[in-house]
Amino acid sequence: MTRNNYSFPRDFLWGAATAAYQIEGAWNVDGRGESIWDRFSHTEGKVNNGETGDVACDHYHRFAADVEIMRRLNLKAYRFSISWPRVLPSGRGPVNPAGLDFYDRLVDALLEANIEPFVTLYHWDLPQALEDMGGWSERDTCGYFADYAALMMRRLGDRVRCWATFNEPAIVSFLGFRTGQHAPGYRSQRLALQVGHHLLVAHGMALQSMRAIKSDSEAGIVLSLWPPEAQSDTPELKASAEKLWQKDEAWFVDPLLRAHYPVLGWQEYGDDVPEIRPGDMALISQKLDFIGVNYYSRKLMGPDGQISPVPGSEHTEMGWEVTPSSLRKLLVRLQEEYRCPPIYITENGAAVADRVAEDGSIHDERRISYLRDHLVAVHNAITDGVDVRGYFVWSLMDNFEWAFGYSKRFGIVHVDYATQERRIKDSGLWYSQTVRRNGFQLPSAGEPSEPLVETAR
């Protein structure tokens, strides 16, 4: 292998990811119940510009055409989430047959196109009916989640191999309950940590209920990891980066992979630590078939102990620093410090201020270089011995970016929200080529890059 030839392992799972509330729309159609994100986005002042997921990409009605786009992109896998209130409008009790049918048809369409479905059960849209009963602050919600997971496994388990229980429990807990930026919008650290614990308990209970139905599926969880790093090598800064790792990242990694909360983090949280019942840690730390890593950037600790990026460094439209080398370090850390199960990069991508050119094309070079540089980091980590099984771009298409509404575009496919027209961006063309070749070659200095064309499998 020459140094600029990045060829990935055979069977590497190349995909793209989305989440139900961000793309489906059809929020009150065919018996779907209300979710906390409907309630939140319909509340004044919560989302940029008052935008909502009411219509979003209208994927609920356009899924067949969207699967066709995925086929054109050569995707081998598609990570999507199930809207809990679409299948169980009150979160428990009577099912909504139309909701279950929708996911049935989506899975069938994917399989027909030779694309592996990768399901996330919870990507933030709790049924509002459960929120009205206390939501994630109530332990009962864990049992309802396990029942919902079982329902989906019974329905789709014959065709879906990979199942993630939760997307980013840290974000659910910290942004939903500590900072209030996400639904349901509480602001209490103590509540956030109790909720975080309940999410982990719910994860453990769901693993059990799903495995009781089908023991040979692959079940895991998706974590958002923003590794803290010190701007300089002083012992104080390195210690404060480690403290932050324990409070944010390891707070979720350690219970899952070591069956206890990190000691330093526990001390730091003082009286706000969660109530743990006997047996909880064993439930939480059951065998995982994979860990999903969502990586966007690092947290860089400046001299004053505050998070402050290096001046002049590159940032995406989210204001997130572009730091691919931190992804390699993170993956190696997971491998070396934890007995880490196989890893999928379940999200990675960049918000770019895209412009549609007159001929309809979108030249998003910045997204291409972001994706390419992060894939180089993944490749390097694999060479270092980390067992990375696949990579999912966030996102398949532009969509509702939570509190930012439609102002941030992450897609490799452009969506015109007025007409719902989809256009494959240059990054989509680049990615389809990469998937087809199972990697890429970087041009040597002075050599031109290859032209981007749509390629068939």
Task: Rank residues 70 and 452 by Cβ distance to ligand FCB and give the closer one.
Answer: 70
Half-sphere exposure of 333 (CA within 13 A, CB side): 18
Q: How far is the CB of 336 from ligand FCB (least distance, A)?
A: 25
Smallest CA-to-CA distance from 453 within 441, 436, 439 is with 436
In sequence order, which residues have a C-beta less than 8 Å from that of residue 122 and are 6 or more positions away? 81, 84, 145, 165, 166, 167, 172
Residue with the two structure tokens 């199972």: 438
What is the spatial distance between Cα 329 and Cα 321, in angstroms, rounded to a whole number?
16
Write out the binding residues for ligand FCB, residues 352-381 only, by CB under 6 A. none
Residue of 34, 51, 116, 347 marked active site: 347
Under the criterion CB under 6 A, does residue 19 sit at the interface with ligand FCB? yes
Name the closest residue to ligand FCB (Cβ). Answer: 19
- Is 294 a binder of ligand FCB (CB under 6 A)? yes
Task: Indicate which single residue of 402, 406, 430, 440 sits in contact with ligand FCB (rule: CB under 6 A).
Answer: 402
Using rule CB under 6 A, residue 168 touches ligand FCB:
yes
* 116 sits near ligand FCB (criterion: CB under 6 A): no
The answer to the question of residue 83 lying near ligand FCB (CB under 6 A) is: no
Interatomic CA distance for residues 432 and 424, integer angstroms: 10
To the query of whether residue 249 is one of the catalytic residues in this protein, the response is: no
Q: Is residue 248 close enough to count as binding ligand FCB by CB under 6 A?
A: no
Active-site annotation holder among 168, 229, 321, 401 = 168
- Write down the least CB distance from residue 376 to ligand FCB, Å: 21
**Closer CB to ligand FCB, residue 34 or residue 125?**
125
Nearest to 4 by CA among 435, 384, 380, 327: 380
For ligand FCB, the closer CB: 349 or 428: 349
Query: Using the rule CB under 6 A, is 316 a contact of ligand FCB?
Result: no
Check if 168 is active-site. yes
* Residue 167 lies near ligand FCB (rule: CB under 6 A): yes
Q: Does 432 bind ligand FCB (CB under 6 A)?
A: no
Nearer to ligand FCB, 71 or 247 (CB): 247
Is there binding between residue 78 and ligand FCB (CB under 6 A)? no
Candidates 204, 192, 99; CA nearest to 143 is 204
- Please, which residues have CB within 8 angstroms of residue 433's CB and are 6 or more apart in sequence? 440, 450, 452, 453, 455
| 295 binds ligand FCB, rule: CB under 6 A | no
State residue 273 phi and psi, 5-degree precision: -65, 150
> Mapped to the 3 state alphabet, what secondary structure does 38-105 carry?
HHHHCCCCCCHHHCCCCCCCCHHHHHHHHHHHHHHCCCCEEEEECCHHHHCCCCCCCCCHHHHHHHHH
Q: Does 249 bind ligand FCB (CB under 6 A)?
A: no
Catalytic residues: 168, 347
What is the contact surface with ligand FCB in residues (CB under 6 A)? 19, 22, 167-168, 171, 224, 294, 347, 394, 401-402, 410
